Structures are given as structure tokens and as C-alpha cells.
Amino acid sequence: MAIAIMTSGGDSAGMNPAIKKFVKIVLERGEVPYLIYDGLEGLIDDNIHEATHETVAGIVHLGGTIIRSSRSKRFFEYDYRKQAFDNLQRRGIDKLMVLGGDGSFKALDIFYKDFGVSFIGVPATIDNDIHGTDYCLGVDTALNVIRTAIDGIRDTAASFKRGFVMEIMGRDCGYLTLMSAMTNGAEVMIIPEIKYDLESIKARLKNEIKNGRRYAVALVAEGVKVAQELTEWMQKEVGMESRLTVLGHVQRGGNPTVYDRRMAFEFVAFGMEKLLNDAQCHHVVVYKDADFDFVTIDFINSGKYEISPELIELTRHLSR
């Protein structure tokens, strides 16, 4: 049996530990592991290579993905999917593991329906926005990268009596922003999930300044698209000289934390057990209520990820 792994969509810390665990499990089972380089594009272009222990030696501590990633419009055309299938057929590969988000899972589900290639999806995106799972690979590392940045910003904010607005990644999901605001002592938080009140925030900040506040850190989720406006607002309305910092793609990099390494190993081990033993596998591994499970692509697509109400209530005051 030959089995391949690929990373698709945005990269996230934890992908390399997952790749290493995949190769180890496949070799221990006496099967042949393959690495698909450059994601769906590499699958189409036949950038597929057999892996050994040496191939994945010394990668656990590396961020990103050694097999690289991509997004592919071509894959949604049947002729290119057929080309990808033929590439797998020549090597006897009939099972795939994909690390990515819901777009990657949809692509592999179409591939399964076309050609019957079994697959297991592992949620890997720092946005943590996949319906059905409480956790995705890369989130903990991203939160620690953001923490380091906030610590640095707070030092200079305090030194100059300034306000700093920081735009945090997450597409339309405010999870990273909320967790960062809660655990790093932000004074203001703007996310899509909570209705914010600038007049109330202004009154609160002005009162705090009157009582000795010298600086303020405001975290804004990129999906709200108000970071620049909020920076100007803090300067004009609150009366605090302010600067904007957009963290951008630095949030996707960095050495995987211990937690992300552990979760990578567990996601892969749990998923591989089903992939190796189920001839008709087309599921995604999820981590829900502190336990691993499998769900279908239809379930993933049936709803939108929602931050827990408990976390929303713990941080709502930062938006007022």
C-alpha cells in the first residue's frame, strides 16, 4: 500500500511535526509513504516523492511546511483532477492525508467522489475557524507569536504614552484576537462576533486616563476592517497619540509550540488509524470537548465555527 500526505492552503506551525509522524506511522506499518510537494498544484504537476526517515529528520521544530503549500483553481477542473489521479495511480497511491482548511477538504471530497481516493483531513489553520472542531493545528503557536508582539508593543507604548492598535489575523473569525486580548491584558477588543460601542469605549478610556492610564493597546480582528479608522479615532476622540501595527503573516510562522507538536502527533495518529483500515474513508479528524472524533465534509460545511459563549462573555467588556 502506498499513502501520501500533502499540505494545502495557508501554512501553519504544526504541519512539519504532522508530516514526520505520518512518515513514521506508514513506515512502521510496512507501507510506502509519499510526500506531495506544493499542495494541490503539486498533485496536478506530479511533484510527488517517496519519503524515508531521513527525509523528515530534524523537522519537528520548524515552522511552515517542508513540502510547501498552494491554492489551486486548476484542481476544480475535471481534466486537471484526472491528471492528478493518474499521477497517484502510477505509484499505486490510493489513500491521502491532507493538512489544511475547509477549502482543501472540499477539494479532496470532490476528488474522492470522482475517483474513489480515500482521504483523511487534519484541520490546520491559525484562524481556528473550521466548524466542528475546537482546535486547529497552528493556533497555539500563532497565539504565542502574537503574545510576543504585544509584549514588545506594550513596552514602547508605555514609554511614549501612546495608544497602539494591532490588527490580528483570522479572516472573518475573531478567535485569535479574543484569546490574545483576554490573555495579554488589552484595553480594547474589536471582533466580528461582538457588537462594539465606540462611545462607550471612549468614555471608559477617558475616565481611565483621568485616573492615571498612560497608554492603551487595542486589538482588532482583520475581518472587521477598521484598524486604520480605529487608530485615527483613538487619536482624535480619545486624545491619545496612536500608532497602527499590522502583524500580518508573521503570525503564521515560528517554531511550533509544545502543544502544537503534541496535537500534530495526536491528530495524525488518530486519523491514520481510520485511513489505514477504512477502504471508503473521506472524513476529517476533529478535536471536540477534549476528545478526537471524525466528521464528514458535509458536516464541516453545514455550519459556521462559533467562539464559545463563555469566552465571548469573558471579553465583552473590552468592546464597550
Q: Is the dihedral of CA 280, 286, 292, 295 positive or negative?
A: negative
Return the pLDDT at 279. Answer: 86
Fold of 2-138+256-301: Rossmann fold (3.40.50)
For residue 139, name the pLDDT band (cuts at 50, 70, 90).
very high
Strands 282-288 and 118-123: parallel
pLDDT tens digit string along 259-292? 999 999 999 999 999 999 998 899 999 999 999 9
Spatial neighbors of 111 by CB under 8 A, at least 6 apart, are 75, 81, 84, 85, 117, 119
Tell me: pLDDT of 146 over 90: yes
Per-residue pLDDT, averaged over 105-124, amounts to: 97
To the nearest 10°, report the CA torsion of 152, 153, 158, 162. Answer: 170
pLDDT tens digit string along 195-212? 999 999 999 999 999 999
The three three-digit cell numbers of residue 7, written as one number: 499540505
Per-residue pLDDT, averaged over 154-172, amounts to: 95
Strands 48-50 and 32-36: antiparallel
Q: Quickly list DSSP for 208-270.
A: HHHTT---EEEEEEGGG--HHHHHHHIIIII---EEEEE-GGGGG-SPPPHHHHHHHHHHHHH
Residue-averaged pLDDT of the chain: 97
pLDDT tens digit string along 290-308? 999 999 999 998 999 999 9
Spatial neighbors of 170 by CB under 8 A, at least 6 apart, are 126, 127, 128, 129, 176, 177, 221, 222, 223
104 C-beta neighbours (distance < 10 Å), count: 29
> How far apart are alpha carbons 305 and 294 in whole angstroms?
16
Question: What's the Cα-to-Cα distance from 1 to each of 31, 271, 275, rounded to whole Å?
Answer: 5, 17, 12
Return the pLDDT at 136. Answer: 98
Q: Which residue has the cell 483523511?
A: 120
Grouping H, G, I as helix, E, B as strand and the rest as coil, residue 90 is helix
Percentage of the chain exceeding pLDDT 70: 100
Supply the DSSP symbol for 73. S
Q: Which residue has the cell 477588543?
A: 189
2-138+256-301 against 139-252: fold identical: yes
- Give domain limits for the chain: 2-138+256-301, 139-252
Task: Indicate yes or no: pTM above 0.85.
Answer: yes
CATH classification for the domain delimited by 139-252, as one of 3.30.70.3280, 3.40.50.11540, 3.40.630.30, 3.40.50.460: 3.40.50.460
Return the pLDDT at 59. Answer: 98
pLDDT tens digit string along 9-65? 999 999 999 999 999 999 999 999 999 999 999 999 999 999 999 999 999 999 999
Q: Which residue has the cell 502527533?
A: 265
Residues acting as catalytic residues? 127
